[in-house]
Structure 1
């Protein structure tokens, strides 16, 4: 039964990630500039996560970058950048049945940046910092669903609460890291990404 639930949970994560990837792709083909942005930012995020993931535990200076990417470049670029981050970095940190769920979570971080932009167009780094802080806990709560269904028996609200409570200190560390890095680096990162976004939108007229 445990093996079956582990398989079902993994397949659910894969299906959810694939459905969202497909939905984002069908909104319109990504142009070469967007693909370049995704490749560069996903590589930076993956490198930061892989390098700091072991030595600094959950203090990873990357989730805020995915959030700001979605805020500046939109939901599609934010989602693809976020989803590629754990996929790439887990080649160094370890692939497993948790990878699709991590891809889903990180992708949703990027989408949330676009949602903040849509709801609060004039939002600044303070708003993004608050959202990143909340994602420290929300990420843990979603990933706890994977851990709960794979390792815990019986599957009840009580056992889920115990799973969540056991990881609360790690979630708090992640949230604190997100808060620190976004507060310290978010403002300048936002300005840089907005600058390059404006450069991308420049249209040259033929003479």
Structure 2
């Protein structure tokens, strides 16, 4: 995994340099970099040759995240998908969280529409699952939390962290995609306008993530933790 990440980082730097030299559009260059960021996780999954039961659990988590997006389609921007992705990362680790987030966006866009925004959505939601998994693993190692048994203060802290993750990380990543797609010549004024326009949307999305984590995280984490321990999958 480390070798793949190092290779992706080196290739990203080469793409940026070539993009500047050839005068490629900001969007094309940035999208190629995003694809490089996604590739190591899928390459690592292929190299590990996971068992069928691991793939079943992974597919089930992706399906749950897709259903969460589809079910709330009538409510603009209020989607619990990021919360489900974060819960997957907390239960099975950052690598699985990233794959669930990226996979959920790829699959759900078969319904919502594929386009040049899809890699950015995969990166944004994958990052959410990765961050939740890495943070949870660190807290579990230090004995600060028990996987699948969060107290109310811990649930509040988790929900608040999910809100901030959407508003400060995932949302701005998607706004950056909008910036590259909508603006031919990027200026400070155009960037500020795009990010400010996206802020209310990110707050609504963050609120959905907050409420879902607060209400659903504990019972779902208990179920997923039993699956992880009993069947030894995605550990």
TM bin (shorter chain): 0.7 to 0.9
Q: Which residue of 2 aligns with 1:63?
A: 82
Question: In the alignment, which residue of structure 2 is the partner of 1:7?
Answer: 28
Bigger mean CA deviation after superposition, 170-179 or 181-190? 181-190
Deviations 1:3-52 (A, max 9, x none): 944333333322322234325655x3323232111100101111221231
- Alignment CA distance shift 1:75-1:33 (3 Å): farther
Q: Between the two structures, name the one with larger relative contact order (CA 8 Å, sep ≥ 6).
A: 1
CA RMSD of aligned residues (A): 2.2
Separation of aligned partners in 2, 1:81 and 1:60 = 16
Aligned partners of 1:93 and 1:45: how far apart in 2? 14
Q: Structure 2 length normalisation: TM-score?
A: 0.77
Aligned to 1:180: 211
**In the alignment, what sits opposite 1:119?**
138
Q: Deviations over 1:69-90 (max 9, x none)?
A: 1111112221111110010000
Aligned to 1:100, which of 101, 109, 119? 119
May I ask how many residue pairs the two structures share in their alignment? 199
* Cα displacement (A) at 1:105: 1.1
Given candidates 165, 180, 185, the residue that maps to 2:196 is 165
Counterparts of 2:53 and 2:41, CA distance in 1: 21
- Larger displacement relative to structure 2 (60-69 or 114-123): 114-123
2:95 counterpart residue number? 76
Consecutive unaligned residues in structure 1, runs of 5 or more: 203-207
